[in-house]
Amino acid sequence: MKLRQSLQNKTKLSATLKSWLPILQSGLSDLEETLGEFTSENPYIEVQSKIETNLSSKIPKKSLERAPKNSLSEKIEALTIQEDSLYDILYEQIAPPLFPTATSQKIALKIIENLNEEGYFEGEIEKIALECESSSESCEKIRQRFSRLEPPGIGAKDVRESFLFQLDSSECDDELFSLVRELIEELEYHTRYKNHPRYVEAMRLIRSFKNPPAIDFFEKEPDIIPDLFVHDSSGQIEVRLNDAYYPTIVLDTARADKKHEYVKAKIKEAKDLIDALDMRKATLYKIGLMILEYQYDFFMGGEIRPMKLKDLAEEFNHAPSTISRAIASKYLECNRGIFSLKSFFSTAIDEETSNAAIKDYIADMVKNEERGKPLSDIKILQNVENKFGIKMVRRTITKYRKQLNIASSSERKKLYEISV
C-alpha cells in the first residue's frame, strides 16, 4: 500500500516537474517573470514580489514620502538615478570653443560614432574626411583634440596614444611630463630609466591612467541573488533557502463559482503552479544538502572534490540533463563567497582530485610567485604533480592556465616590471 502511494506521489511530482520545468530552470532573479507568464491569464492567482519588498525596505521612509503617491515600483523608480552613457557625455562636449564650427562638430561626432566599447577609435580618417567634405589632415587634428575631453584617453587609436592623451590632461611639472612621455613611448623598455630620480613617481602616474579609457562605462554586472546559503550556525554547518527573495503565490477563489469547468481548470492550474514552486524549493534544498555532504571539506576551507551530475541524478531518479537544468543560473553563498552551483561539479583527474582543485592551486601559486622569476608551465606541472601525487602533461597545465586567464611566464614578467 505504502509502495503504491509512494509511486503515485512520485509520478505526480514528475508530471508537475515536467509541466513546470521553466520554474525549476529560472534563476531566483528571473523567477517572478517566469511565474508571471503562467499567471497572466489566470484571474484567481497573484504573484507577490519579495524582491521589490526587500528593495523598498532599504529606502528611507522620508524618501518614499516625497516620491509620487502611486505604486511602490513607481516610487522606487522615481528614486533611481539615471547615469549618462559615455556617448551622452561626449556629445555634450562637442561644442565651442574646442569645436567652434559646424564642420568640426560634424567630424567630432563622426569620430564618436567610430569608437568601440573600450573607447578606442576604430574608424578610417580618410572615410570621415570624405563624408564631411574635409581633408584627412583636418580630421586628424580634430581627433587629436579628444585628448582634452572627458574621460581622458578617449578617441585614441591604441593604449600608447591613450596614455599620451591622459598625460596631456594630467597636472604635472615639465620635468615629470617629459619623463612620462619618454616612458610611454618606450614602455616595454621602461626599466632602462630605473636610475632616474623620478622614475618611481613617473611609473605611479602611468599606473593611474585608465586602460581601456572607457573602463568606467563598462556595463556593470547585475547583482547575484543566491538561492542557497551554507553557513556555520552554532558550530554546525547548515543549508538554508533564500526565502527572503522567493515570490509568494496567492490563490483567491472566494468569489469564484467552483462548479464551473473554466473555474475548476484555472484553480487546478494555480494549485499545480504552487506545487511546482514548492518542488523547486525542495529540489534545490536537497541539492544544497548533497553539495554540503560531498563538498564538506571545501566549506571547511579545503578544496573542491570530484563530483558528477550523475551522483545527484541517481539520488533524484532523474536524468543528468534535468539536474543540469536545475542548477543552471543558481548560486550558493557561504563564508568563502558566492559560487555558482555548477562550479561544484568538476571533472575528476583521479578518484580524489578534481580539475577545479588543480586550477585553484595553479591560481594560488601564480598569485604568490616571485615576481622577478615567474613560474614556467614546466615548474607549475612539477609542483602540481608533487602536491597531488598524480601524473599530467604540460599542455594540460597550459590549457588550465589559459582558462584561468593567466599570461605565460614571460608575459607575466613584463607585466610585473611595468607595475613596479
Neighbouring residues of 274: CB distance < 8 A, sequence distance ≥ 6: 249, 251
Q: How many CB atoms lie within 10 A of CB 28?
A: 23
Query: Distances from the Cα of 25 to the Cαs of 17, 45, 246, in angstroms?
Result: 10, 21, 15
Neighbouring residues of 405: CB distance < 8 A, sequence distance ≥ 6: none
Q: How many CB atoms lie within 10 A of CB 196?
A: 14
What pLDDT, on a 0 to 100 scale, did the predictor assign at position 346?
64
Pairing between β-strand 236-241 and β-strand 248-251 as defined by DSSP bridges: unpaired
Pairing between β-strand 248-251 and β-strand 45-48 as defined by DSSP bridges: antiparallel
Low-confidence ranges of the chain (pLDDT < 70): 1-20, 50-83, 219-222, 346-354, 418-420
What pLDDT, on a 0 to 100 scale, did the predictor assign at position 306?
73
Integer Cα distance of 109 and 95 in angstroms: 11
Q: What is the pTM of this model?
A: 0.50
Select the CATH number that applies to the domain covering 355-418 from these four: 1.10.1660, 3.90.320, 3.30.450, 1.10.10. Answer: 1.10.10
Integer Cα distance of 49 and 116 in angstroms: 38
Tell me the per-residue pLDDT of 226-237, one tens digit each, with 9 for 90 and over. 899 998 777 788
Q: Residues of CATH 1.10.10 domain(s) within the chain? A: 355-418
What pLDDT, on a 0 to 100 scale, did the predictor assign at position 20?
62
296: amino acid identity, one letter: Y
What the block records as the C-alpha cell of 290 is 548533497
User: If residue 249 lies in a helix (H) or strand (E), which one and from where to where?
Assistant: strand 248-251
Measured torsion, CA atoms of residues 338, 343, 348, 349, in degrees rounded to the nearest 10: -70
What the block records as the C-alpha cell of 310 is 550523475
What pLDDT, on a 0 to 100 scale, did the predictor assign at position 413?
83
